[in-house]
Amino acid sequence: MIFYYAPIEFKTGDLYRIFYLHVSAAWISYFAFGVTMIGSILYLFRRDYLWDSIAAISAQLGVVFCSATLFIGSIWAGAAWGIYWNWDPRETTTLILWILYVAYLSFRMSIHEKEKRARISAVLGILAFISVPLSYFSVKLWFSIHTLVIEPGRIGLTAPMIHTLIIAMVAILLIFLVLLKLTLDVYNLEEEISILKEKMR
């Protein structure tokens, strides 16, 4: 759909097609960090390590998608505006978002005691989510060359463009969910192996 269904954009031509991946990756990174926050809250209430694992995995995937957002966005910016990075509010707040969740994951790896790691990570996972609305609404708070994609009339999206964007977002969401499930299975296998090793000692 990106290459054959969506029409050419009248200002940037075929170059704009990278927009579908850029926006989709950004939205899924927000979604992933939202899952981290929800998983963190549920862990604190239920003390079930399943939610801690989901929160951690979702943060990892969120960092991957956020990295893709920054990388693809810089390519688009370089081609469209002639500069790869200009410290635009959306770029800067998204970078801050990325740094916070990389710090969250680094902090998790520095704590070896399971309960302590899960408890402190849950608090950090909740607090770090503040950066998500800050990143999204940065185009409203400060002057920015970015726009809110949720307002299609402002950026001249036609119906085929909107259809393509929705399908792209759904496709990347499905990729996220599959990766979340596969990684959670790996976490569970690692936990079972650890338990078996303890029993064999």
The top-scoring range by mean pLDDT among 66-80, 101-115, 186-200 is 101-115
The CA distance from 8 to 2, in Å, is 10
Rounded Cα–Cα distance for residues 138 and 146 (Å): 9
Residue 9: phi and psi, rounded to 5, are -80, 135
Q: What is the pTM of this model?
A: 0.86
Concatenate the DSSP letters of all residues of 34-83 into one string.
HHHHHHHHHHHHH--HHHHHHHHHHHHHHHHHHHHHHHHHHHHHHHHHS-
Is residue 80 a contact partner of residue 14, using CB atoms and an 8 Å limit? no
Distance CA 173, CA 178 (A): 9
| pLDDT-derived band at 176, boundaries 50, 70, 90 | very high
* Rounded mean pLDDT, 149-157: 52
State the pLDDT at residue 1: 86
What's the rounded Cα separation, in Å, for the pair 154 and 73? 19
Q: Give the integer Cα–Cα distance in Å for 57 and 51.
A: 10
pLDDT of res. 77: 81
**Which pLDDT score is estimated for 95?**
93
Of 4, 20, 39, 30, the residue nearest 134 (C-alpha)? 30
Residue with token string 């079930």: 48
SS3 13: strand
Residue 79's nearest CA partner among 18, 127, 162, 131 is: 18
Write the pLDDT tens digit of every residue in 36-94: 999 999 999 999 999 999 999 999 999 999 999 999 988 888 877 778 888 888 888 99
Give the Cα separation of 192 and 199 in Å (integer): 11
